[in-house]
Amino acid sequence: MAENKTQPSATSASEFIASIENPTRRADAETMLAMMQRITGWQPRMWGPSIIGFGEYHYKYESGREGDFMRTGFSPRKANLVLYIMPGYADYSDKLARLGKHKIGKSCLYINKLADIDMAVLEEIIEAGLDDMARKYPL
């Protein structure tokens, strides 16, 4: 049975953010940390060396693969700020159209900097992702 390669680490999210060299990326990470703590009500937890996650759920696929992972989170990477909206973006087209400059992957939202987007819409997207996760993986 294969497990998720990205596991929680003992690193402090605040210490990790303080170590970010780019001042804009660091400030955006501080903003995201405060926003996600406020929205989720959960304390941040580092997943691997660079992902700040909130909440946790247990998944089990038909293939037998299972594990634990964050419900939502973000990573202030060098190229962009990555937000993890775990259920993906199937029904978010209206919100994404109002967000501003971004790119998407399966469960990732890529933002160059927070100044490029509408923060209220970003909150809507994070909340919608958490609602979707609660339906699929009840707390």
* Cα dist from 121 to 93, 104, 118, whole Å: 12, 15, 5
The pLDDT tens digits for 34-47 are 999 999 999 999 99
Domains and CATH numbers, the chain: 13-136 (3.90.1150.200)
Q: Please report which confidence band the pLDDT of residue 12 belongs to, taking 50, 70 and 90 as the band edges.
A: very high
1 has a pLDDT exceeding 50: no
C-alpha–C-alpha distance, residues 78 and 118, integer Å: 21
Averaged pLDDT, 6-30: 91
Averaged pLDDT, 65-74: 89
78 has a pLDDT exceeding 70: yes
Query: pTM score, two decimals?
Result: 0.89
* Cα dist from 76 to 22, 27, 86, 110, whole Å: 10, 10, 17, 10
Structure confidence at residue 66 (pLDDT): 81
| Count of residues in the chain | 139
Mean pLDDT over all residues of the chain? 90
C-alpha–C-alpha distance, residues 74 and 26, integer Å: 12
Averaged pLDDT, 48-77: 90
